[in-house]
Structure 1
Amino acid sequence: MKLNRFTLLLLLFPLFVQGQTSGNPIFPGWYADPEAIVFGKTYWVYPTYSAKYKEQVFMDAFSSKDLITWKKHERIIDTASIKWANKAMWAPSITKKDGKYYLFFGANDIQSDNELGGIGVAVSDKPEGPFKDLLGKPLVDKFYNKAQPIDQFVFKDKDGQYYLIYGGWSHCNIAKLNNDFTGFVPYPDGTTFKEITPEGYVEGSFMFIRDGKYYFMWSEGGWTGPNYSVAYAIADSPLGPFKRIGKILKQDPLVATGAGHHSVIQNPKTKQWYIVYHRRPLGEKDGNHRVTCIDEMSFDENGLIKPVKITKEGVSKSKL
């Protein structure tokens, strides 16, 4: 069959578009709870290796110059370097301070104060690791304010103060980290862990600043179900109070289900915002079959986050 030029262009157009966009998922494999961050001129994503708890004994990372092509960095951390961790290493959060990279992670999925585990911190000279245990023990190993010590996020405020925001089991705490991340600095009232739980909160906290306002985001619903989603609130302080505004990320039955546990990044040049999250491909029944995706995020004239449209195409090429 002889094809005219127009028909040929129609056939090749999807391939051309795919080459110019990230596609979703952005890299192969079962990965969840992605934390995206910009270091220099490189985008990084640090996800959970999504498998049975006993198999979650390491973490990989991924880097990209343009959001299109991703390089895999294998086993940046594992239980061989974290002696107290034996399973369920998940939900990494990373920050750079004084030339070093600090990776915060959950391990062991503890169910009570009598078990060993919680939130740990590891350090490396490079964003791709290898990361070594900073403390030789968990940083947070108890249920303060009924918050399970998981799903940590490290937040740097405008004044340079670092906070640890974390919590599962429908409770969220915020604590002031000390200078070397080996512990915490109490608040003026003598407390160390302040609860900032908004309505609907389940887990997966994240915070960023925009136009002087603090945007606090979290995941709602059950992580294995189709209705896993992301909601948010806005306040004038990282301590809140945070009043729930509404959902901005959720499933699309035509695209994927269980869209949640996210992070947010911004291109410092173009000012474009992106949301990086996990979701479950249609037809997948295994709770651990989750993939990492990216889509654009935007705001209305009042500073409210517009509902995110989850896509198969992902985002266009974006260089830093």
Structure 2
Amino acid sequence: MRRLDRLAALGGLLMLGACAPQESAMPSPPTFTYEGNPLVRDRHTADPAPLVVGDTLYLYVGHDEARGEEMFNITEWLAYSTKDMVTWTDHGPIMRPTDFAWAQKDAWASQVHEKDGRFWFYTTVEHDPATSHGKAIGVAVADNPLGPFVDARGSALVRNEDTAGPHHWDDIDPTVWTEPDGTSWLFWGNAELKYARLAPDMISFSGPIERIDLPDFEEGPWVFKRGDIYYLAYASMDRAISPDERISYATASSIQGPWTWRGEITGSAAKSFTIHPGIIEFRGKWYLFYHVGTLTVGDQAGAIGRRAVAVERMQFDENGLILPVEQTTQGLLLPR
């Protein structure tokens, strides 16, 4: 090919490149600065579930969308992240109940658990009445803490009829713990606290479903460990004192107990009869996430179906017992 012909051909290719549509860069997710409690202020959020991965804390919540006198309408789970507890990134929805083909609605409490480089999303949904009834526990999985999460087994891990609980919502609020030897355990329940050993596949059980009797247990268990002590925090209710939930806890020297009741971590949530603990250590400090009902968004004031996640520092005494946590609007802005 002559030199002029080669130049002409090169020019044509350059023109085609200039005219070809360019792939647009993905916009960065929005961020916001923590300004006290509630943490998220542009929408209603509930049932906080923190997870630390490397230098990042991820927070998974249900998106409360009830309007007027509606009690609950939770159609999706949202995710947020932070590296310093000050600047937060809003990652938007990560999953919806109907992503489980066998589920109908209700993005109730969940927890994401990391094991062997994968992220297991244990959560509560309403089962499709065509095949079961009541609340059920599903499992989704992803290779990234932000998903995409997909149904890991194609059916519920726990259905309402799998346990002899007192009502159709007694199988809710899963929390997961993995021992150093790789053995994992699932805890869950309303009115009755249940637990079972998970199989290595993380989507079935390798042992029987057992029960733990704890004073005033209502729902929302959360298991964690500090040093040699296992902790089991939960939403408790003493109806002789109040119809509102508080957060209590028990301790043990083994994940299988026996569990010793230790009292309350914090009292009832403002303007919400439910409360849900999410407890995590991040950068050497311990935090208690919970929800309240004090946030107004647009024309919708806070209520039982419009809650708002908050966070406080949590500390321990010399014996490893949790010091009482005061719920504040200043939150982490207070010197701690």
TM-score range, shorter chain: 0.7 to 0.9
Partner of 1:23: 36
**For the aligned residues, what is the CA RMSD?**
2.8
Closer/same/farther in 2, CA of residues 251 and 199 from structure 1, 3 Å limit:
closer
Distance 1:95 1:152 in 2: 11
Cα offsets for 1:267-305 (capped at 9, x unmatched): 2x4x21110111121895631121001100001122111
Match of 2:199 in 1: 178
Q: Which moved more, 1:243-252 or 1:122-131?
A: 243-252
Aligned twin of 1:7: none
Establish whether residue 157 from structure 1 lines up as the match of residue 170 from structure 2. no
Contact 1:145 1:173 in 2 (8 A): no
Larger mean CA deviation between 44-53 and 208-217 belongs to 44-53
Counterpart residue number, 1:6: none
2:52 to 32, 38, 61: 38
Helix, strand or coil at the partner of 1:38: strand
Specify whether residues 54 and 212 from structure 1 end up closer, same or farther in structure 2 by C-alpha distance, changes over 3 A only.
closer
Distance 1:69 1:202, change over 3 A: same
Who is 1:68 aligned against?
86
Q: Distance in 2 between matches of 1:282 and 1:46?
A: 18
The answer to whether structure 1 residue 90 and structure 2 residue 108 are counterparts is yes
Segments of 5+ residues of structure 2 without an aligned counterpart are 1-31
2:165 alignment partner, one of 146, 156, 160: 146
Q: What residue ranges of structure 1 are gaps of 5+ in the alignment?
A: 1-18, 187-191
Question: AA paired with 1:177?
Answer: L
Distance (Å, rounded) in 1 between the aligned partners of 2:82 and 2:163: 37
TM (norm. structure 2) is 0.77
Counterpart position of 1:302: 319
| Aligned amino acid, residue 228 of structure 1 | E
Which range is displaced more, 22-31 or 102-111? 102-111
Once residues 295 and 44 of structure 2 are traced to their aligned partners in structure 1, the CA distance between those partners, rounded to angstroms, is 14
CA positional deviation for 1:219:
0.1
Matched, 1:219 2:232: no
TM-score, normalization: structure 1?
A: 0.81
Identity %, equivalent residues: 30
Q: Distance in 2 between matches of 1:87 and 1:183?
A: 23
1:260 to 270, 275, 278: 275
Mark the CA change 1:206 to 1:158 in structure 2 (over 3 Å): closer, same or farther: same
Residue number in structure 2 paired with 1:289: 306
Q: Which whole-Å deviations, capped at 9, do the CAs of 1:147-188 have from their partners, x for residues lacking one?
A: 7210000111233211110001x10111111112120112xx
Alpha-carbon distance in 2 for matches of 1:64, 1:178: 32
Per the TM alignment, residue 99 of structure 1 is displaced from its structure 2 partner at its CA by: 2.0
User: Is the deviation greater in 34-43 or in 235-244?
Assistant: 235-244
| Length, aligned pairs only | 286
State how far apart, in whole Å, the 2-side matches of 1:100 and 1:135 are: 15
Tell me: CA distance 1:233–1:79, structure 2 relative to 1, closer, same or farther (3 Å).
closer
Which of 237, 256, 263 aligns to 2:254? It is 237
CA contact (8 A) 1:30 1:290 kept: yes
2:165 corresponds to which letter in structure 1?
Answer: K
Q: CA deviation at 1:216?
A: 0.9
The one-letter code sitting in structure 1 at the alignment partner of 2:226 is R
After superposition, the C-alpha distances for 1:63-122 in whole angstroms (9 at most, x for unaligned) are 1111122212222111442111111121111111222211111101799x9516500000
